[in-house]
Chain A
Amino acid sequence: MTFKRVAAASVAALMVASPVMADLVFPSLSYRTGPFAAGGIPYADGFADYMTLLNERDGGIGGVAVQVPECETAYNTEKGVECYESTKGMGALAYNPLSTGITYQLIPKATADDIPLYTPGYGRTSAANGDVFSHVFNFPANYWNGASAAINHVLDLNGGDLKGKKIVLLHFNGAYGKEPIPTLTKLGEKHGYDLTTIPIDYPGQEQKAQWLQIRREKPDYVLFWGWGVMNQVAIQEAANIRYPMDQFIGVWWSGAEHDVKPAGEKATGYKAMTFHGVGSDYPVFGDLQKYVVDAGKAAGDGSNVGTVIYNRGVYAAMMLAEAAKNAQEIHGVADITSAQMRDGLEQLEITNARMAELGMEGFGPEFKVSCANHGGPGAIAIQQWDGAAGKWSLITDFSGSDMDVIQPLIDADSAAYAAENKIDPQCN
């Protein structure tokens, strides 16, 4: 074969394999395999399906098609970094790494590469301080908002008085699970409750000791930061010791259908925090069904549409799409760069009117991102499981968290990061 033929074949292969450069590229660092696949699959499906909906219904964003190349991380940090390195050359506009571990590794890399990271509801909590973390966005809520929202909910249930109450934080014994401890400790000093932390090591299949301790100490509430099989076991063990399910409140990563279903109807009453709507009773899901699932273009088989984690993927994709649209408007170009995408994220405003236009009225709170605040409003609702009906329902509105306690923690942590990495504040 001549050199010309080889070259022509190589160019043709590249054209087929790579996204067209004019497309808006949002790589999906998904995990469809491994021990956390049950959560990773619906998220990746929701993320991809929403982008497909934009392509099929609207012709993309601002007339430019969207591409979502997937790279399998198996929830492994090293693979996640490899995925980042192998996809950023495609013209990636933003990354949603879907793992706190991968996020921590990518923060300096992505900042140096001028590519924004979007980490809704996970990652480094203090990245909410845009003054230090110029390329990281974690709106609309982070773990510290979650901790505060859980305490706010408990305050509501107790007439605003938690003095002398016992609260247990049952958590994954790692960075993610330990995130809420400073906030809960500070809130304990403020509201007068006793906090006990009980760690569970990965994978968490055996939690007998932890639940015997809970049975002995009889806490008024158990807050839960778990992930993977740890969730199913914890909910089953709570049911086994007959802990009141409506006093057991999980973070949003411990509140999916597959977390509660193995325990059957005994899981009824279990609560979880959420920063987005539940179910499929929103017009956007009709469009997803019509333009994506029924058209045979869904990333999965369509069975996950409307489930908690699928909805979270849809919500994340919507935010990035809105930010891309915003960037196009700010810079007056359709083919935006990752730097322009960062600007779109930093000046994003989500209003109720816009949510209604998107067919997502009431699906999430309205908010405005700014240079200093990349974390959004921290507005969180509480959802509750009904085992008989087999569905989650929102039992509170989205409401804010105690920023008087959280903001100093964000400032202190981000200041430490800035000093360590010699970062000058970006907002003047």
Chain B
Amino acid sequence: MPEQLLFAMEVTLNGLMAGVLYALVALGFVLIFKASGIFNFAQGMLVVFAAMTLVGVQTGQIPFAHLINTIFGTKIHHFGWTVPTILAIIVAGAAMVLVAWIIEKYILQHLIGQPDIILFMATIGMWYFMHGFAPLMWGSEVMKLDVGLAQGINETIDTTTYNWFGYGFFIDNLDIVAAIVAALLVAALVLFSQYTKQGRALRAVADDHSAALSVGISLRFIWVLVWSIAGFVALVAGIMWGSKSGVQISLAEVALKALPVLMLGGFTSIPGAIIGGLIIGVGEQLFEFAIGPLVGGATQAWFAYVLALVFLIFRPQGLFGEKIIERV
């Protein structure tokens, strides 16, 4: 088989894996937009806060240690214990539920009935608030995240493809884990929305707020629920991305990768987020491989947006989004 074709196959596989990671971030946006019509600008910061909380709890870091030390002249940093990973994930998940409750009680509740743009602006405010609050709570250092996930080249794939083609493909073990986790997450979300009372209520709210309210569904409860789920999805995304780069404030910028995924897949479709992520992942990797060297490289940053814009021209609602028809 020609060498370039083998390289293209390897790039495609890695693009699919990268797309899964983008989709994980995009899922959080979709869940909130679907249930409440809010484009949550702060989703990237939820990823950072969730991952920081996980590492902080896991390593026994004292929250607000820098603030406490500055005010009281103390020199405290750690409790002196470490917390098992699974327990730390549960605590971080609980923290995200608390964040969801706070957001609903102190922000969304006061904005019921306001235009969507007001809610969007509120999430921009949340982004800025959390951008300062998260480092204040856990510090600005790069935090090493280790939840025991394997990283590095997958030996089996490397050896097998070498035996088949004479060239071993590189696939990162972490990406394989991310793909499995994403599949489980989507399956769980589908099961939850199809077969639980809360899930059906969530779908009802997504379809029509007023109708859902009229049959006794609590909008407040649904908002807390959906923001909690989005917080949990942010935690999963934070674990995957944080394992690659360490947990730090710039992790919030992974949200930039989710935007073209949403434009392509549609803002209201969970499968759309996954398919959109995969298309963007493969598209940008193949484009960089084939065209990148001809135009100076580093095309990933803009190619995803160009691809999404092309889709927008032909299908403004995205591949799986709901077509909005407004009659005047």
The stretch that binds B, out of A86-94, A225-233, A339-347, A408-416, is A225-233
User: In chain A between 387 and 425, which residues have their CB closer than 8 angstroms to a CB of chain B?
Assistant: none
Q: Does A200 contact B (CB under 8 A)?
A: yes
Q: Does B245 contact A (CB under 8 A)?
A: yes
CA gap between A33 and B285 in the complex, in Å: 32
Indicate whether A33 sits within 8 Å of B132 (C-beta atoms), given known contacts A209-B300, A240-B172, A301-B75: yes
Residues of B within 8 A of A241 (CB): 153, 170
- CB atoms of B140 and A33 under 8 A apart: yes
Residues of B within 8 A of A233 (CB): 244-245
Shortest Cβ distance from B240 into chain A, in angstroms?
11
User: In chain A between 196 and 228, which residues have their CB closer than 8 angstroms to a CB of chain B?
Assistant: 197-203, 205-206, 208-210, 212-213, 215-216, 228
- CB atoms of B257 and A206 under 8 A apart: yes
Residues of A within 8 A of B249 (CB): 34-35, 37
Indicate whether A205 sits within 8 Å of B141 (C-beta atoms), given known contacts A173-B298, A240-B152: no
Indicate whether A208 sits within 8 Å of B285 (C-beta atoms), given known contacts A37-B140, A198-B297, A232-B142: yes
CA gap between A301 and B241 in the complex, in Å: 29
CA gap between A22 and B249 in the complex, in Å: 40
Q: Does A191 contact B (CB under 8 A)?
A: no
Indicate whether A35 sits within 8 Å of B248 (C-beta atoms), given known contacts A209-B289, A212-B11, A241-B170: yes
- CB atoms of A301 and B248 under 8 A apart: no
Shortest Cβ distance from B26 into chain A, in angstroms?
14
Shortest Cβ distance from A75 into chain B, in angstroms?
11
- CB atoms of B170 and A236 under 8 A apart: no
Q: Does B77 contact A (CB under 8 A)?
A: yes
> Quick one: closest A residue to B14, CB to CB?
A208
Residues of B within 8 A of A258 (CB): 141-142, 246
Contact of B298 among A32, A36, A199, A302 (CB under 8 A): A199
User: In chain B between 226 and 251, which residues have their CB closer than 8 angstroms to a CB of chain A?
Assistant: 241, 244-246, 248-251
Residues of B within 8 A of A209 (CB): 11, 14, 284-285, 288-289, 292, 300
Indicate whether A212 sits within 8 Å of B297 (C-beta atoms), given known contacts A38-B140, A236-B151, A261-B144: no
Q: Does A5 contact B (CB under 8 A)?
A: no
CA gap between A303 and B75 in the complex, in Å: 10
- CB atoms of A208 and B153 under 8 A apart: no
Residues of B within 8 A of A236 (CB): 151, 244-245
What number of residue pairs across chains A and B have CB atoms under 8 A from each other? Answer: 121
CA gap between A208 and B21 in the complex, in Å: 12
B interface SS class: helix
CA gap between A200 and B297 in the complex, in Å: 8
Indicate whether A202 sits within 8 Å of B301 (C-beta atoms), given known contacts A208-B285, A216-B7, A261-B142: yes
Indicate whether A33 sits within 8 Å of B135 (C-beta atoms), given known contacts A38-B248, A199-B297, A212-B10: yes
CA gap between A34 and B241 in the complex, in Å: 18
Residues of A within 8 A of B244 (CB): 205, 232-233, 236-237
Residues of B within 8 A of A303 (CB): 77
Residues of B within 8 A of A208 (CB): 14-15, 17-18, 285
- CB atoms of B77 and A203 under 8 A apart: no
CA gap between A282 and B289 in the complex, in Å: 48
Shortest Cβ distance from B209 into chain A, in angstroms?
36
- CB atoms of A242 and B7 under 8 A apart: no
Q: Does B207 contact A (CB under 8 A)?
A: no
Shortest Cβ distance from B71 into chain A, in angstroms?
13
- CB atoms of A205 and B142 under 8 A apart: no
Q: Does B69 contact A (CB under 8 A)?
A: yes
Residues of B within 8 A of A37 (CB): 135, 140, 249
- CB atoms of B300 and A206 under 8 A apart: yes
Contact of A228 among B132, B250, B285, B298 (CB under 8 A): B250
Residues of A within 8 A of B245 (CB): 205, 229, 232-233, 236, 262
Residues of A within 8 A of B75 (CB): 301-302
- CB atoms of B142 and A201 under 8 A apart: no
- CB atoms of B153 and A32 under 8 A apart: no
Indicate whether A262 sits within 8 Å of B250 (C-beta atoms), given known contacts A200-B298, A209-B288: no
Q: Does A296 contact B (CB under 8 A)?
A: yes
> Quick one: closest B residue to A198, CB to CB?
B297
- CB atoms of B11 and A240 under 8 A apart: no
Residue among A37, A237, A262, A266 with max Cβ neighbours from chain B (10 Å): A262
Shortest Cβ distance from A395 into chain B, in angstroms?
24
Indicate whether A240 sits within 8 Å of B153 (C-beta atoms), given known contacts A32-B140, A208-B14, A208-B285: yes
CA gap between A210 and B292 in the complex, in Å: 10
Contact of A203 among B10, B250, B297 (CB under 8 A): B250
Indicate whether A38 sits within 8 Å of B141 (C-beta atoms), given known contacts A233-B245, A264-B146, A301-B66: yes
- CB atoms of A296 and B73 under 8 A apart: yes
Q: Does A284 contact B (CB under 8 A)?
A: no
Residue among B140, B144, B146, B248 with max Cβ neighbours from chain A (10 Å): B140
Q: Does A318 contact B (CB under 8 A)?
A: no
CA gap between A212 and B285 in the complex, in Å: 10
> Quick one: closest A residue to B141, CB to CB?
A38
User: In chain B between 277 and 308, which residues have their CB closer than 8 angstroms to a CB of chain A?
Assistant: 284-285, 288-289, 292, 296-298, 300-302
- Residues on B facing A (Cβ under 8 Å): 7, 10-11, 14-15, 17-18, 21, 66, 69, 73, 75, 77, 131-132, 135, 140-142, 144-146, 151-153, 170, 172, 241, 244-246, 248-251, 253-254, 257, 284-285, 288-289, 292, 296-298, 300-302
Cross-chain pairs A/B with CB under 8 angstroms, 12 sampled: A201-B298, A202-B301, A206-B21, A206-B300, A208-B14, A209-B300, A229-B245, A236-B151, A236-B245, A239-B151, A242-B152, A264-B146
User: 10 smallest A-B Cβ distances: which pairs?
Assistant: A262-B246, A35-B250, A201-B301, A199-B298, A37-B140, A258-B142, A209-B288, A173-B298, A201-B298, A229-B250
